[in-house]
Amino acid sequence: MTLPKLFRLLVTLGAFALLILAIKPFTDHGSLEDSYPGKPIKIIVPFKPGGGSDRIARVLDNFTKEEFGSSFIFVYKPGGGGHLGLRFLANSKPDGYMLATYNTPDLVLGHMTGIASYEIDDLVVLGQIAFDANVFAASHDSPFSDMKDFLDEARERPGKLRLGISQPKGGNHLATLAMIDDQGVDLSVVIFSGGTELASAVLGKQVDAGIGGLAPFLGSMEQTKFLAISGDKRLQKIPEITTMIEQGIPMNSGTGRVMLAPAGLEEFQLDRLKRGLKNIFDNEDFKTDLRKIGNEPSWLDGDQVSEYLNAFQIKAQLILEKTGLN
C-alpha cells in the first residue's frame, strides 16, 4: 500500500471512530430507557412496620416483580408523622431508585402546620392507588348505636365522652375537629400517633370511640362496634354501617394512599414509574388484595392529586386558624 493510500485509510478509520464515540451516549441512553429500572427500587415507608402504609406497600410489592422485574427493597424511616421519611426522600439522589409511600392530605398539612422540613416541590406524586374513608369505632359492648347517638350523648354530658383521633395534625385530625365544631359538642379529644395505637385504645376502652382507618380493626372485628363511615360511600367490608352523611352529619373525609418520587428524575423514568403503577392498579387481583386488607382501590394521577391538594389547602387553612393548630 502506498503512503498516500495508508494515510487516507487512517483518516477514514479515525473519522469512523470519532463518529462511534459521538453517537455512543445516545445509544447508551436509549438502552437505559429500554431496560429501566433494571435493578431493585427502594421504597421508603415513613412509619413503623405493620401499619397501614406498610400493608399497602406490601400488597403493591406482590406485583412489582412482574411489572418492573424485581421486588421493592423496603426502608423504614418512622418519625414526625411520616415527614422524617419524606425529608429523606426529598434529599435523596434523583436516580429513579428511591420512592416512598405516603398519605394525602397529610402531604400538604406538614407544611401548613410547620412539621415538615422539606419543600413540597422537592417531591413528585406518581399516583394514588387507594382512598380510605375513616371509620368511627367503639368496643363491642359500647352503649352507642351510631355516631348520631354518640353525639347526642355528648350534648347531654359536655366534656365527658372521650374521642380518640389518629395522626396528630393530619387530615383525619382536622376533619374531626371541624365536625366537632360544626356539631357544637364538647368532647375530650385524645390524640394517638397512628391507627394501630388508636385501635388498641378503642378496644381497651381507653376512649369511648375513635376515628381512624378500618385496617387496624380487621383482626378484631368481633370486639369492635362500628358507629359510622366518615366518607360519602359505605365500605364493602362492612356494608351495613352507614355513613356520617346518612346519619345527618355533614362529614366526608379519608386518606389517599400515594406513591412519591424525588424531583429531578429523567422524564423516561417518571413515565415508566407512572405507567407501571397504573398497570398494577388496573390488575383486578391487586384491587382484590387491597380490599382484603381493608383498603379501597382508587386511582388518581399526579395532576389530579395536586388539584385535590390545592383545593384542600384553602379549606384546611380556615380550620387551622379556627382551631389554633397552625
CA-CA distance, 124 to 187, in Å (whole number)?
A: 38
Collapsed DSSP state (helix, strand, coil) of residue 287:
helix
Backbone angles phi, psi at 115, to 5 degrees: -80, -40
Q: pTM here?
A: 0.79
Backbone angles phi, psi at 171, to 5 degrees: -60, -40
pLDDT for res 283: 98
pLDDT for res 16: 52
90's CB contacts (< 8 A; 6+ apart) are: 118, 119, 122, 123, 262, 263
State which residues of the chain have pLDDT below 50. Answer: 6, 9-11, 15, 17-20, 22-28
| 42-131+255-323 and 135-229 share one fold | yes
pLDDT for res 8: 59
Beta bridge partners of 15: none
Collapsed DSSP state (helix, strand, coil) of residue 82:
helix
pLDDT for res 5: 54
pLDDT for res 51: 83
Long-range contacts, 26-30 (Cβ 8 Å, 24+): none
Task: Quote the cell numbers at residue 181.
Answer: 365544631
CA-CA distance, 212 to 249, in Å (whole number)?
A: 17
Collapsed DSSP state (helix, strand, coil) of residue 207:
coil
**In the block, residue with C-alpha cell 399497602:** 56
- Domain 135-229 in CATH 3.40.190.10? The answer is yes
* Total length of the chain: 326
pLDDT for res 12: 55
Domain positions in the chain are: 42-131+255-323, 135-229
pLDDT for res 52: 85
pLDDT for res 132: 86
Check residue 56 and give left, alpha or beta (phi > 0: left; psi -120 to 50: alpha). alpha
CA-CA distance, 40 to 296, in Å (whole number)?
A: 27
* Identity of residue 232: D
> CATH for 42-131+255-323?
3.40.190.150
CA-CA distance, 83 to 88, in Å (whole number)?
A: 9
pLDDT for res 19: 47
pLDDT for res 311: 87
pLDDT for res 6: 47
